[in-house]
Amino acid sequence: MGIMVREFERLYVHVPFCVRKCLYCGFFSEVLSGDDDVEMYLSCLEREFEAYALRCGEILSVYIGGGTPSSLSADQLGRLFELVRGNFELSRDVEVTVEANPDTLTGEKVGLIWGFAGRVSLGVQSFSCEFCRRIGRDVPEGSAERALEMLCGAEGRGDISCDLIYALPGQGLEDFGEDLEKLVSYPVSHISTYSLTLEEEALLKGDAFSVDERGGNDEDASMMEFCREYLEGRGFLMYEVSNYARPGHESRHNLGVWLGGTYLGCGPSAASFDGVDRWQNVRGLDLWVSGGSPEPDKISADSRAREIFAMGLRTVAGWDRALLVERTGLCWEVLLEELRPLIAEGLMVSDRGRIGCSRKGLMLWNELAERIIL
């Protein structure tokens, strides 16, 4: 059975504004320069919602990311939320996530966000102002703590997820341990941890620090291992290469995307997937506003199937046979035969109708994905 075009079941909205540009940033965003750009953005977003709403089924999850959604004013955020509510049919137990950065949150915005979303994803990166400064995030001292206190103390609060970056320039295991310790002292239910990617490192190199200050892959691996042990000892389970959650608090949106679910991406640079094809909106606010055509990601059906399969291997649970066949059209028996060497090397495991990475395979997911995608 081949894969088919399906209705969009998830919605991603890209808010393309930030208050400053972090040195390592590879996402598309522009430094917020005034209300006019936001007004233009909101009216074009409405048109994009209207154009695609009919291709959507009941929306299972909404993810408002960026950029920095919380850089919008309370009034603008409220209008954005109304546009989502007014244009899509949200499922009764829809999971709604809004990304925020600590220094742009206010009590008013927190109230609005909790009135709309059940999850907030807060970009802490590090509690240390010095490490943040080294990657171009000049946040005022104590802003992450203040944002967490506001989010935790607000009425009607939902799940709080935080991002941390490790292996920052000059950062040792002990410094990272301090970030983890402080983070778990708050009632957060989800933690995403990333090391700077090679691409991000390259962006950094030109500016703030020498490459020698940044440890290599071995250091990343030991920090990842340390992080897993630390968080698993405090009630968080690793459920994806970079993500930990208290049981039942995993990101349903991201799980859906990793396992070949369909999603509509709106806003500049947002990507969409309809079950067969993937495409990306133009990277540029002006280009997007003036109707620039999305860029198709044209690959063969076999490459798409392998790409979906490899993405699902980021999850600790891996693939269930029926879902894998439905989402990729791959033949289970042929695939198992092909994966024999990876299983023999201890990178993958197959058991009772499931296939996934071993612990070692998860640590080496990048290399493993390259071997699967060919």
Stretch that binds ligand SF4, among 23-31, 229-237, 289-297, 364-372 (CB under 6 A): 23-31
Stretch that binds ligand SF4, among 63-71, 206-214, 353-361, 365-373 (CB under 6 A): 63-71
Q: How far is the CB of 25 from ligand SF4 (least distance, A)?
A: 3
Q: How far is the CB of 121 from ligand SF4 (least distance, A)?
A: 11
Q: With respect to ligand SF4, which residue has the nearer C-beta, 25 or 271?
A: 25
Task: Using CB under 6 A, pick the residue from 61, 68, 161, 254 that binds ligand SF4.
Answer: 68
- Binding of residue 196 to ligand SF4 (CB under 6 A): no
Q: How far is the CB of 183 from ligand SF4 (least distance, A)?
A: 18
* Residue numbers 90-149 binding ligand SF4 by CB under 6 A: 101, 123
Q: How far is the CB of 349 from ligand SF4 (least distance, A)?
A: 35
Q: With respect to ligand SF4, which residue has the nearer C-beta, 29 or 254?
A: 29
- For residues 15 and 69, is the Cβ–Cβ distance under 8 A? yes
Interface with ligand SF4 (CB under 6 A), residue total: 11
Burial class (CB in 10 A: 0-12, 13-18, 19+), 70: buried
Q: With respect to ligand SF4, which residue has the nearer C-beta, 25 or 325?
A: 25
- Binding of residue 66 to ligand SF4 (CB under 6 A): yes
- Binding of residue 323 to ligand SF4 (CB under 6 A): no
Structure tokens given for 53: 């709403």
Other beta carbons within 10 angstroms of residue 210's beta carbon come to 8
- Binding of residue 70 to ligand SF4 (CB under 6 A): no
Distance CA 100, CA 110 (A): 10
Q: How far is the CB of 143 from ligand SF4 (least distance, A)?
A: 13
Q: How far is the CB of 44 from ligand SF4 (least distance, A)?
A: 19
Terminal-to-terminal C-alpha distance of the chain: 22
Stretch that binds ligand SF4, among 2-10, 61-69, 169-177, 306-314 (CB under 6 A): 61-69
- For residues 122 and 189, is the Cβ–Cβ distance under 8 A? no
Burial class (CB in 10 A: 0-12, 13-18, 19+), 37: middle
Q: With respect to ligand SF4, which residue has the nearer C-beta, 33 or 293?
A: 33
Q: How far is the CB of 68 from ligand SF4 (least distance, A)?
A: 5
Q: How far is the CB of 222 from ligand SF4 (least distance, A)?
A: 25
Q: With respect to ligand SF4, which residue has the nearer C-beta, 15 or 227?
A: 15
Stretch that binds ligand SF4, among 16-24, 47-55, 103-111, 309-317 (CB under 6 A): 16-24
Q: With respect to ligand SF4, which residue has the nearer C-beta, 167 or 347?
A: 167
- Binding of residue 29 to ligand SF4 (CB under 6 A): yes
Q: Binding residues for ligand SF4, per CB under 6 A?
A: 18, 21-22, 25, 27, 29, 66-68, 101, 123
